[in-house]
Amino acid sequence: DQQVKQNSPSLSVQEGRISILNCDYTNSMFDYFLWYKKYPAEGPTFLISISSIKDKNEDGRFTVFLNKSAKHLSLHIVPSQPGDSAVYFCAARDDSGNTPLVFGKGTRLSVIA
Amino acid sequence: KAGVTQTPRYLIKTRGQQVTLSCSPISGHRSVSWYQQTPGQGLQFLFEYFSETQRNKGNFPGRFSGRQFSNSRSEMNVSTLELGDSALYLCASSSLFRQGNEQFFGPGTRLTVL
């Protein structure tokens, strides 16, 4: 049973345009969500997070939106740059602080110059 | 501050052998988690250690085990290796006292089982 789903395995976007990566979750106990970026031959690096008490969090070109009622979050990258080409993982955890992060399977973003 | 380090970076083993992977967390971090990444499966949680105690365990067979030492360094062991164990094994550390407990990952150990 996959609790965090990233239904798009890959996404191609033109440089300068917006990239939108989507993530759905099923566990209503999740209340903290994170996005990680992973380049080949490297470990994932933390990108941005959002708590369930917010519906939006912004950090430079990266914005994460959370729709709790739909159990859906999205990561927007504006403008997209070739260096953003990587695999993006969505992750979630519940509010107990005692359970591990649950990751989606990732979306491979390709930004085309 | 040095990041999470994992050794070795690459490993080739044959079926039936066992392997031990090592992880040194960021200085001051006492929580270490291990994940297995295979193509198309994302990051599958193996286990988490905090202060030498296993706090959580994922849904993996008993061939997968781990431990944490008093200096927070952690090792994971896989016995009786199978072809399906070929994967990237990632270690992550966190302080557990930062909001959201963001985890910081090492570069991983690429294990190939022949």
Tell me what pLDDT residue B32 has.
93
What are the CA-CA distances from residue A60 to residues A8, A43, A78, B103, B104 (Å)? 24, 22, 9, 21, 20
pLDDT score of A97 more than 80 = no
Residue given tokens 């996005």 in the structure block = A35
User: Taking CA atoms, what residue in A is nearest to B100?
Assistant: A32
Taking CB atoms and an 8 Å limit, are B40 and A101 in contact across chains?
A: no
User: Which of chain A's residues have a Cβ under 8 Å away from the Cβ of B41?
Assistant: 105
Among partner residues B40, B102, B108, which is closest to A46 by beta-carbon distance?
A: B102
Cross-chain residue pair B90–A43, CB shorter than 8 Å: yes
Residue B97 has pLDDT above 60, yes or no: no
Residue A103 confidence (pLDDT) above 60: yes
Q: Which residues of chain B does A99 touch, with a Cβ-Cβ cutoff of 8 Å?
A: 56
**Predicted confidence (pLDDT) at residue B76 exceeds the cutoff of 80:** yes
Residue A81: helix, strand or coil by DSSP? Answer: coil
Alpha carbon distance A104, A35 (integer Å)? 10
pLDDT tens by residue, A42-90: 899 999 999 999 999 999 999 999 999 999 999 999 999 999 999 999 9
Judged against a pLDDT cut of 80, whether residue B99 lies above it is answered with no
Strand partners of residue A14: A112
Burial label, B1 (beta-carbon count in 10 A; 0-12, 13-18, 19+): exposed
Looking at the complex, does the CB of residue B107 fall below 8 Å from at least one CB of chain A? yes
pLDDT at A17: 97
pLDDT score for B42: 83
Tokens 């395995």 sit on residue:
A9
* C-beta separation of B57 from B36 below 8 A: no
The answer, for A43 touching chain B at a CB cutoff of 8 Å, is: yes
> Under a CB-based contact definition with an 8 Å cutoff, are residues A112 and A10 in contact?
no
One-letter-per-residue 3-state SS of chain B: CCCCEEECCEEEECCCCCEEEEEECCCCCCEEEEEEEECCCEEEEEEEEECCEEEEECCCCCCEEEEECCCCCEEEEECCCCHHHCEEEEEEEECCCCHHHCCEECCCEEEEEC
Question: Residue B100 above 80 pLDDT?
Answer: no
Q: Are the beta carbons of A43 and B105 separated by less than 8 Å? A: yes
| pLDDT tens, residue by residue, A26-40 | 999 998 999 999 998
Q: Read off φ and ψ for residue B97, nearest 5 degrees.
A: -115, 5
